[in-house]
Every structure is written in structure tokens, then in C-alpha cells.
Amino acid sequence: MILQLAGFHASLRQSPYYEECPMPQSWMEAFDQLKQLLIRDERKHKIVFIDELPWLDTNTSDLNAALDWFWNQWASARKDIKLIVCGSAASWMIKTFINDDGGFYNRVTESMKIAPFNLAETKLYLESKDIHYDSYQIVHLYMALGGIPYYLNKVKKGFSASQNIDNIFFGKQALVKNEYTLLFKSLFKNHQRHIDVVDVLFKKKKGLFRSDITKALNILDGGFSNVLEELVVSDFISVHTARHNQTKCYLQNCRSLYTFP
């Protein structure tokens, strides 16, 4: 928690309205310092933007209570402050804000899900890096990397799509060598259950009913809805209602292929 508080305090110090004070020892103290800074800020419109908020919430922190206090007891009553929070850990964001029945219940005014590029956008992104592939090579890359800018940014000019894929996946310092497990760990607290669901669906191209998944994993249905919801929000799987109103789950492969403009 000390590392996260130090980073928060360092961000406060970058503001022209910051007044020297000791590094906070708790999140309640940290958000009180933010409150005092905003009071000194005389601008008509102020935006508090917190990126990767789940990273700040360690096991022993009081982050949720402090943020609840900051917003509900002070900032929400003001017309000059907007709070924007971001996080790649879907489970944390859903639990803390979207489905919260406590202090943040019905507090979210807008939500924005950042979707990967489609094929046309992938083509434009590569061209912005002066990489010009024909449609076949772009589809080849898209099927391997999806439309994730982070991965597409590793595509190097002067190499074919196949060569880039080989370097990214199988090179000596391959970018995605340990990505599978690390990605799930970064997104979900109890990540092994999510991995198990994806592994089961990977073996069934036609999808599986919810009851089939719980049977294959030998688990009870209780609490399983949260796992499915988090995987859907994170674009790992899609869920559809099939016969007799049963839920059928599908592993998300490439999205629908788009025609190039």
C-alpha cells in the first residue's frame, strides 16, 4: 500500500495548487489531501482522473471506504468536479462500481467499455506506423493478435505478418510467452476459475451450456454467475440464450470480419 500511496502523493505534487504536506499514511488521509487541493483550485471545472484504480486497492487498504467518503460526503455535492476512474481489472470495476449495493450504488452516470480495433481500424493503425500490408496479411495478424493496440504496436516494419507473429509468440524474448496466465492474474482476483472455464470452452467450438461447464469442472453453480459475467465483460466469452432458456457460452475467437473501406 505504501507504494500506491507514494504514487498518489507524487501525482498531487504535480498540481500547481499543491501545498507541501507529508506523504499520507492511509487512503483517508490521501483523499483528504486531494480534497484540500481541489478547494484551493479556483477553476470552474475540475476533473479528477484516476487510472488503473484496482491497482491501488491492496488487501489491507481502506481505498474503497476513502473513495466513498471523498465522493459521497463531499465531491458529489459540488457542481465543479467530475470523477473519472479507469481499470483493466474487470471483476474489480464491476464489483466496486457497476454492481455495488453500498456507497457507489447508482452513482455511475456514464460507463465506457474500450473495445479492440476491428479489421478496418487495425489496417489504419498499422498504416499510421508506416506498415502497409495487403488484406490477407492484416487478417493473418488480426487472427493472431486480435485488435489489441498493445500487441499491434509490437508489429515491426520490414517484416511480414508471419515473421512478426513468429517473433511475438515464439521468439527468444517473445512478448506473449507468459501472457496467458499473467493476463488472467491481472484481471481477476480468483483467476484460476476463469482460466478453467476458458480451457473447457476452448475444446468445444460449438459452445457449452452453463450446466455442462459446471459439470466438466465439477463445481457448484453458486457464485458461477460472477465468473461468467466477468469473462463476458472482458471479451473472453459470449453468452446467449439457447433452447428452453438455457444459457450457452462461447469462447470469443476473432470478431466478425469487417470489409475494408
Residue where one domain finishes, among candidates 69, 98, 127: 98
Contacts with 58 (C-beta within 8 Å, 6 or more apart), sequence order: 1, 4
Within a domain: 259: no
Q: Are residues 163 and 186 in the same domain?
A: no
- Is-contact 220 205, C-beta < 8 A? no
Residue 215 has a CB neighbour count (10 Å cut-off) of 12
pLDDT tens-digit map of 181-234: 888 887 887 889 899 999 998 888 788 888 889 889 888 777 788 888 888 877
**146 in Cβ contact with 125 (< 8 Å):** no
Number of domains in the chain: 3
Statement to judge: residues 184 and 230 lie in one domain: yes
Q: What is the pLDDT of residues 142-191, one digit of tens each?
A: 999 989 898 999 999 999 999 999 999 988 888 888 888 888 887 887 88
Of 153, 170, 187, the position where a domain reaches its end is 170
Residue 117's Cβ-side half-sphere holds a number of Cα atoms within 13 Å equal to: 23
Residue type, 169: F
Taking the model in full, what pTM does it have?
Answer: 0.70
- Decide if 51 is inside a domain: yes
Which structural domain range is residue 44 located in?
Answer: 2-98
Separation CA 225–CA 210 (nearest Å): 9
Confirm whether 156 is domain-assigned.
Answer: yes
**Residue 258 domain-assigned?**
no
88 within domain boundaries: yes
206 and 137 in a common domain: no
pLDDT greater than 90 at residue 257: no
Residue 93 lies in a domain: yes
- Do 8 and 85 sit in the same domain of this protein? yes
Q: Are 258 and 150 in contact (CB under 8 A)?
A: no
Instruction: Give percent of the chain above pLDDT 70.
Output: 95
- H or E stretch covering 208: strand 208-209
Residues 187, 226, single domain; the answer is yes
In a domain, 256, yes or no: no
Q: Of 184, 203, 202, 186, give the one whose Cα is nearest residue 194.
A: 184
Q: 247-251 and 208-209: which strand pairing?
A: antiparallel
Same domain, 6 and 28: yes
